[in-house]
Amino acid sequence: MKEFILIVDDDKDIRRLLGIYLGNEGYRYLACENAAQALDILERYQVDLILMDVMMPEIDGISACLRIRERSKIPIIFMSAKTEDIDIIQGLTVGGDDYVTKPWRQRA
């Protein structure tokens, strides 16, 4: 069975698009619109990978990552429009496993 992926992004179009891509590749996924929902999902589901937006209302992705790292080593890939080196360094320093900048292009 393939991995279970959690998509966390406040942009519904990005959640939908990532869900389509992952589903087409046979991955199971859950999608939520904020970090509070993500933290709740992590209490109830076994997740193998988190795709996490950085800039979200209330709890941002960096803060959510810090909370997740208190109890889990689930791989976290940040997705963000924040492209400065300091932003990337911060994301990796708090426990992110990778940092992908938006917008990204789909391979044909």
Is the per-residue pLDDT at 63 higher than 80?
A: yes
pLDDT of residue 107: 62
Q: Rounded distance, CA 59 to CA 56, Å?
A: 6
Contact 9, 18 (CB under 8 A): yes
Asked if pLDDT for residue 2 goes beyond 70, the answer is no
Asked: is 4-101 a CATH 3.30.1600.10 domain? The reply is no
Q: Which candidate, 56, 106, 59, 49, places its Cα nearest to that of 82?
A: 56
Which position has the token pair 């992952």? 22
pLDDT at position 49 over 90? yes
Helix (H) or strand (E) holding 91: helix 85-93
Lowest mean pLDDT among 44-48, 64-68, 80-84, 101-105: 101-105
The type of residue at 27 is Y
Percent of the chain with pLDDT strictly greater than 70:
93
Please, what is the average pLDDT of the chain?
92
